[in-house]
Structure 1
Amino acid sequence: MLLNVKIALTKKLKSNPTTDDLEKLNEQLYIVNIALTRLWQEMGSYELAQDLLLSMTNKDRDDSEEILCSTSGDLDTDLALARLWRLMGKNELAERLLLNMSGKRPNASEEELCQPWGHHAVDLIRALLWKKIGKFKLAERLLLNMSNKTPINMRRYFARPAGIMKLIWPWCGTGSWWANISWLKDCCLT
C-alpha cells in the first residue's frame, strides 16, 4: 500500500509541478519514504531500507565510510539511518554518523564525547548504541550529563529526578547493564 502511495505521489509530482503542489507533494513523499523504511526495517528487509535512506541523502552504499557517515542536513533521515545501521550490526557506521551529527570527533576525549549535543533523540540513540557495543562508561556519563547530574554523592543527588531521567528509567529494565549499577537502581527506581 505504501508503495502504491509513493508511486501515485511520484506520478503526481511529475505530471503537475506547480510550486505549491510541489512542496506539499515532496513533504508527503518524504513521510511515505520514512514510513516505508520503518516498515522494511520491521520486516527485516534492511538492505531495501538502507538503499532508500541512502538515496534520500544522495548517497550510495558503495560510497566511502566518510561520505556515508556525513550528515545529510535532515535530522530525521540521519537518525533513521543510524537506527537502521545499529539494527544491522553496523555499529561503527552508526556511531560515526551520530558523532558527526552532534559535531564530535571519534578520537575526541571522553569528556568531549560525553557532552550532550542538545537534541535528546540523537543523544539517547548515541547512549543506547554505546550500551549495545559495550561502552557502558560513555553511555552512563552521557546520560548523567544529559540530566545535569554528577557522579559525586550520587545517592543523594539521584533522589531528585531530572526531566530526562524520567524518560530514561522506564527503558532500563532488569537484566540490562543498568541492573549492574545497584545503587543507581535502588535510589532511582524505588
Structure 2
Amino acid sequence: MSEPATRRYRGASAEQRQLERRAKLLDAGLKVYGDIGYHAATVRGICHEAGLTERYFYESFANSEDLLCAVYEQVIATQRERMVAAIATVAPDHAAMIRAGLTAFLAFVQESPASARVQFLEVLGVSPRVDQLYRRAIETFAQLLRGLSEGNSTLARNVDMDTLSVGLVGAMVGIGSRWMLSGFAQPLDDVVTTSHIIFSGVMEQLQRT
C-alpha cells in the first residue's frame, strides 16, 4: 500500500496545519499592530504573540508588509460582511438600509479597536502596494453605497455617483477615525445619528437636483 501524499498529525494534514499557523499569525499581527503599531512591530514579536517560531512566519508571508496586507484585507472583508448582513435584515428602504450599514460599520470599529487602528492609521504611507490596497478598500465600500442607490428612480441622473460614493466613504472613514482616537467618547447611537445626517442630506439633495 502506498503512503498518503501528505502526513497527518493529530488528525490534521500538513496543509491544514499551515492554514492554522497562518491564522494564528494573522490574529497575532492584528493584536500587535493594534497595541504598538505596524512600524514598531517585529517578526519576532509577532511570532512570540502567535506562539510560533520565526521559520513558520516565512512559510506564509514573505515579509512584514506581506502580513500587514493580509491583516488589512481580512479587516476590510470582515467589516464589509458585517455591513452587508446588517443591510439585509432591514426593509428595502434607503434610509433604513443606510442607517443599518452605518451602524454595522461603526459598531465594528468600536468592537475591534485594533482593526480600526489598522484600517484608519497603520496602512497609511507604508508603500505603493499598501496604498493600492487602501484605495481598493475605499472603492469596495463605495461600491456597496452605490448598490444602495440602485433602483431609486427619484435620484438625479446627472450626478457622478462614483465620485459621490467615494466622498461619502471618506466621511465615514474620517468620522470613524476621529471617534476611535477619542477613545469612543460618544455613544455609538449618537455617532450613527450624526453620520446619518450627512447621508440623508445627500439623498435629499439628489432628489431635488
Fold similarity call, TM over 0.5 = no
TM bucket normalised to smaller: 0.3 to 0.5
Higher RCO, 1 vs 2 (CA within 8 Å, ≥6 residues apart): 2
In the superposition, the TM-score normalised over structure 1's length comes to: 0.37
Higher helix proportion, which one?
A: 2
In the superposition, the TM-score normalised over structure 2's length comes to: 0.34
